[in-house]
Structure 1
Amino acid sequence: MSFLSLLLKKQLFRLNNSWDLSNTFCPCTEPLSMISKHLTSWKEYYEWRSIPLHSPVSLLLHRPLTIYYATQVAGLGRWTSGISHKLHIHYLGPEKELLQLSVFSELHALFPNVHVHIELVGPAIPQHRDGEMIELCNYAHCLDRDCVCKSSSETVSWDAHTSKPSTVTLQLRSGFYHDRYKDIAQDSSPHLIVAPNAGIAAYSSWPPTIELIKDMDIPAVFSDYCKEACHLGASCITGVTGCPLNIPIQLNPFRQPMVVEDSVLWLPCYSNCFLYGMSKWSV
């Protein structure tokens, strides 16, 4: 990664997990209107959130937007219309996400009136943070001191009178998913599993996790940096499960729009670039 791109990513978020940007360039408050259709591009998202296209927020927001899009390709699009008030996601292999967890507060806007609970599970989570619960009650704040995002009235919370939760909670779990699932299942049964930049063909720890996911019969969406990595990952999954994938390899419209410059592959690579997976495992 070039020095310029690294510097840009670091400057998007401050040490207190708020945007290092003016409110003109970041989503620090509620959207002006609820989502009226499925978003299918960064342009649509930026227009909906009233952010100029030259804002760099997509460099971090590709993570919650990839979750949003994964629910669409997995056939769980009804969540965005608020038919159900709970959405539990198991998010496998977080690393860089741990430094900018507040970006997931954008899920308030993407899943209005829904309690989104995410279990972040992976060996990169430090042991001293195992079991840590984080409640994102409002949007990540902008740089402007007088912005309404600093007001307590902007806090997004559970409305007991309308029974419409609007909460995003994150739970950190250290270790491999197949080792921790029994503990996690006591508290959280997922509607969807998301494995960003999975590298399934590159890591020997994946087969027992894939077997577990198949036995759970839960929709699972994987992403990777390039199409070739997805083909290799899909082949590994089919080899382990004997099931052909029914979510075909496809370009993620909410991939990170900055090339990964230190990739070992001689191919254009982007974080969360392509998606694939299974909407149902049983036959």
Structure 2
Amino acid sequence: MECAGRGRRTRCVGPPTRRCARCGAVAYCSVSHQIAHWGDHKNECERLEQQMKDAEKLNNFPFTFSGEATVQVCEKQETRCSFLTKLGIHCVGMWMGECSCWASAAASLDHSRLTEGWNLSRTLCPCKGPLSPIPKQLSSWKDYYEWRCIPLCSPVALLLHWQEQMYLRWMDTQLHVYESPLTLYQAIQLAATRNLIPEDNNELDGERINLHSYAHCIETDCICKSSTENFSSRTSTSKSSAVVLRLHTGYYHDRFRDIAKDTFPHLIIAPNAGVAAYTSWLPTIELIKEINVPAVFSDYCEEASHLGASCISTVTGCPPMIPIQVNPFRQPMAVEDSPLFLPCYSNCFLFGM
């Protein structure tokens, strides 16, 4: 957390312990910095005040560990590390990227360890496939857990926000996307209900990577250990399979022409986009406007989404086609050390152009 008045001619005199009495979302190191920042803050104070009032709604998850992963992390009673340690999954296998320890370990990390498994019992682990076809529509984490027959004490939702750059073919709908599976699902639903993409295309088609084919549990006698296939071979090319992944590097506006030679998108999705935070988004937004393709964005908090939507509206001259709204499939563990006291979650809010 930084002083909101940082850089106002004078240096900060200490930690930002003086919070705005009205919104409570920003803090200052001193009275002088608070006064100097008021000219900017007065235009956002009322909006931030309302966002702070919505914190309880954002912290509302159905999991048994929700209080520890949300309120206690936000109030620094828990850290992501201590919370994961209590669950016995700190710095193990695919959990390595869920705390600050990742950065220090990344240089020496053997990336094969990321597929070692979930370090969970068979009851908590999604190491077996779903027992039934996917329902018509999933609208919450509870729906997903019930479909997968996973108990609400299982922390697997903490990982299902993982972001990969991917290309997907959604029946006859082409998507260019940096996204997580369930947030992707929600973005598609929002675009379809607003007739931005065909609503009758309700399945994914392409190459499938089954979560349960490599999400092994810790129990040696579980059926998930019966397969001897390695991770790279766990794909299928049948027509009934789900997702094609093609990885690319670079900014989207720089790579688009090459990517579009193979397929032109019907929908573009970008998670935790930070549209207002990075000037590199400007040419991408201009490109999306030029090719007239709908796009769905997510961000960590409502204020970041508001600023991002404002930037997009300035470029396009139109209000968001998909208004800012809470993503029911946001990661259910709060982000540590956010720049504001606002509750922040990975893929927390969705909006679109």
TM-score normalised according to structure 1 size: 0.72
The 1:186/1:220 distance shift into structure 2, 3 A limit, reads: same
Aligned to 2:237: 158
Matched, 1:4 2:82: yes
2:94 to 7, 10, 13: 13
Aligned to 2:200: 78
Aligned to 2:151: 52
Aligned to 1:136: 209
- In structure 1, C-alpha distance between the alignment counterparts of 2:226 and 2:200, rounded to whole Å: 32
Give the residue type in structure 2 aligned to 1:11: V
- In structure 1, C-alpha distance between the alignment counterparts of 2:269 and 2:318, rounded to whole Å: 18
1:194 to 263, 266, 269: 269
- In structure 1, C-alpha distance between the alignment counterparts of 2:159 and 2:200, rounded to whole Å: 25
The sequence identity of aligned pairs, in percent, is 58
1:270 to 339, 345, 349: 345
Aligned to 2:160: 61
Aligned to 2:138: 39
- In structure 2, C-alpha distance between the alignment counterparts of 1:9 and 1:74, rounded to whole Å: 36
Aligned to 2:121: 22
SS at match of 2:248: strand
- In structure 2, C-alpha distance between the alignment counterparts of 1:53 and 1:267, rounded to whole Å: 26
The 1:202/1:48 distance shift into structure 2, 3 A limit, reads: same
Give the residue type in structure 2 aligned to 1:203: Y
1:191-227 per-position Cα deviation (integer Å, ceiling 9, x unaligned): 3211111110010000100111122222211011111
The 1:158/1:233 distance shift into structure 2, 3 A limit, reads: same
The 1:222/1:182 distance shift into structure 2, 3 A limit, reads: same
2:283 to 208, 214, 222: 208
Give the residue type in structure 2 aligned to 1:78: D
- The answer as to whether partners of 2:272 and 2:300 remain within 8 angstroms in 1 is yes
1:240 to 298, 315, 323: 315
SS at match of 2:245: strand
SS at match of 1:240: helix
- In structure 2, C-alpha distance between the alignment counterparts of 1:51 and 1:205, rounded to whole Å: 40
- In structure 1, C-alpha distance between the alignment counterparts of 2:237 and 2:152, rounded to whole Å: 32
- In structure 2, C-alpha distance between the alignment counterparts of 1:213 and 1:26, rounded to whole Å: 39
1:115 to 187, 206, 220: 206
Deviation at 1:167, TM superposition (A): 4.1
Deviation at 1:23, TM superposition (A): 2.8
Matched, 1:181 2:256: yes
Deviation at 1:6, TM superposition (A): 6.1
Q: Structure 1, unaligned stretches of length 5 or more?
A: 83-110, 117-134, 279-283
The 1:152/1:216 distance shift into structure 2, 3 A limit, reads: farther
- In structure 2, C-alpha distance between the alignment counterparts of 1:222 and 1:195, rounded to whole Å: 5
Deviation at 1:172, TM superposition (A): 1.7
Deviation at 1:266, TM superposition (A): 2.0
- In structure 2, C-alpha distance between the alignment counterparts of 1:148 and 1:35, rounded to whole Å: 22
Deviation at 1:243, TM superposition (A): 2.1
TM-score normalised according to structure 2 size: 0.58
- In structure 2, C-alpha distance between the alignment counterparts of 1:264 and 1:6, rounded to whole Å: 23
SS at match of 2:263: coil
Q: Structure 2, unaligned stretches of length 5 or more?
A: 1-78, 96-112, 162-179
RMSD: 2.4
Give the residue type in structure 2 aligned to 1:3: C
- The answer as to whether partners of 2:93 and 2:114 remain within 8 angstroms in 1 is no
Aligned to 1:88: none
Q: Which fold has the larger relative contact order, with Cα–Cα distance below 8 Å and residues 6 or more apart in sequence?
A: 1
- In structure 2, C-alpha distance between the alignment counterparts of 1:169 and 1:148, rounded to whole Å: 27
